[in-house]
């Protein structure tokens, strides 16, 4: 695909972000395309769904996976109105999507009060560890099972 | 709470990870606690749900938010059988959870074939940008709207 094609799909993602605002949700939209076909289009649904993980990219990945009946979106391209936050970037990695196109960035998001840039740069979370031997035993149990599905 | 209490809840998360393996899913479980009360318990459902975002922590956050009817889990503590991957860590940040307890870590996950550590250390994704003026216009439209709900 050339940049004109990419701009076309990116524009669809931006149109979806407008739909999001018009429905009272946050201004983020995403589109997933495979072999030139739009597989899924969705927008941020954090507030209406009471789901802090319901960012546009995550919603769109879930929707594309339902449509294709797989948890592996290899070969898909993701278009998003704004640069993915680190949660979404890593959701994209788990989904095996390798190509992303975006328009606004983390600093634009920062200007309207979203914490994407903060989360990229700092870690407000306190991580504590207690090693229980059972947790690795369970992991080994999975590893030794015959019908495990790695991803 | 003292460490004995934290170990108790962490053990519940590990028990949930065993339930996950026994039901044919991946070996990860999580528990969310608020004021000493277990709000939600869930495990990884990537394979059965065809959802690459359905990690134990994400499922548990979604479930706790449904129970409390909010997208803001401030004051909750998350226990997880294995160190959160970067997707889950940032889902936890968006949910305003500040305290995490875990047992196995990213290297243990690596030993059984999961890519958590790879995603912490490298970026296999190609990020491309085309600036469309409309995307920032939509973001400003949201910012100027009276009933926006920031998070």
Give residue-wise pLDDT tens across range A5-54.
Answer: 999 999 999 999 999 999 999 999 999 999 999 999 999 999 999 999 99
The interface residues of chain A toward chain B in range 82-121, judged by CB-CB distance below 8 A, are 82-83, 85-87, 89-105, 108-109, 111-115, 119
Instruction: Test A47 with B21 for CB contact under 8 angstroms.
Output: no
Contacts of B4 (CB under 8 A, 6+ apart): none
Instruction: Test A138 with B6 for CB contact under 8 angstroms.
Output: no
Query: Which candidate from B52, B124, B148 shows the least CB-CB separation from A71?
Result: B52
Count Cα neighbours of B100 within 13 Å in the Cβ-side half-sphere. 29
Looking at CA atoms only, how far is residue A33 from chain B in angstroms?
15
- 3-class DSSP state for residue B124? coil
pLDDT band at B1 (very low <50, low <70, confident <90, very high): confident
- 3-class DSSP state for residue A99? strand
**Mean pLDDT computed over every residue of chain A:** 96
In A13-113, the DSSP E strands lie at: 29-34, 37-43, 76-82, 99-104
Looking at CA atoms only, how far is residue B41 from chain A in angstroms?
16
Instruction: Test B125 with A58 for CB contact under 8 angstroms.
Output: no
Give residue-wise pLDDT tens across range B72-104.
Answer: 999 999 999 999 999 999 999 999 999 999 999
Query: Which candidate from A86, A94, A105 shows the least CB-CB separation from B52?
Result: A94
Question: Strand A29-34 to strand A76-82: parallel, antiparallel, or no bridges (unpaired)?
Answer: antiparallel
Cβ proximity of A49 and A63 under 8 Å: no
For residue A123, pLDDT over 90 is answered with no
Q: Give the ipTM.
A: 0.96
pTM for the whole thing? 0.96
Looking at CA atoms only, how far is residue B126 from chain A in angstroms?
5
Tokens of A60: 């769109």
The residue behind tokens 């050339």 is A2
- 3-class DSSP state for residue B59? helix
For residue A1, pLDDT over 90 is answered with no
- 3-class DSSP state for residue A124? coil
List the end-to-end C-alpha distance of chain A, in Å, as a whole number: 28
Distances (CA, A) of A50 to A56, A135, B25: 14, 31, 26
For residue B4, pLDDT over 90 is answered with no
State whether residue B65 sits within 8 Å of chain A by CB.
yes
């Amino acid at each position: 695909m050339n940049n004109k094609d990419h701009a076309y799909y990116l524009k669809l993602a931006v149109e979806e972000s407008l739909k999001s605002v018009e429905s009272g949700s946050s201004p983020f939209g995403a589109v997933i395309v495979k072999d030139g076909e739009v597989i899924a289009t969705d927008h941020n649904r954090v507030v209406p769904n009471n789901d802090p993980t319901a960012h546009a990219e995550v919603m769109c990945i879930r929707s594309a996976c339902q449509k294709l009946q797989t948890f592996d979106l290899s070969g898909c391209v993701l278009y998003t109105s704004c640069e993915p936050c680190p949660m979404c970037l890593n959701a994209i990695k788990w989904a095996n999507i390798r190509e992303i196109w975006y328009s606004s960035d983390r600093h634009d998001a920062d200007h309207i009060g979203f914490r994407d840039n903060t989360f990229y740069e700092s870690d407000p979370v306190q991580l504590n560890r207690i090693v229980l031997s059972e947790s690795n035993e369970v992991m080994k149990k999975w590893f030794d099972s015959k019908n495990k599905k790695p991803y």
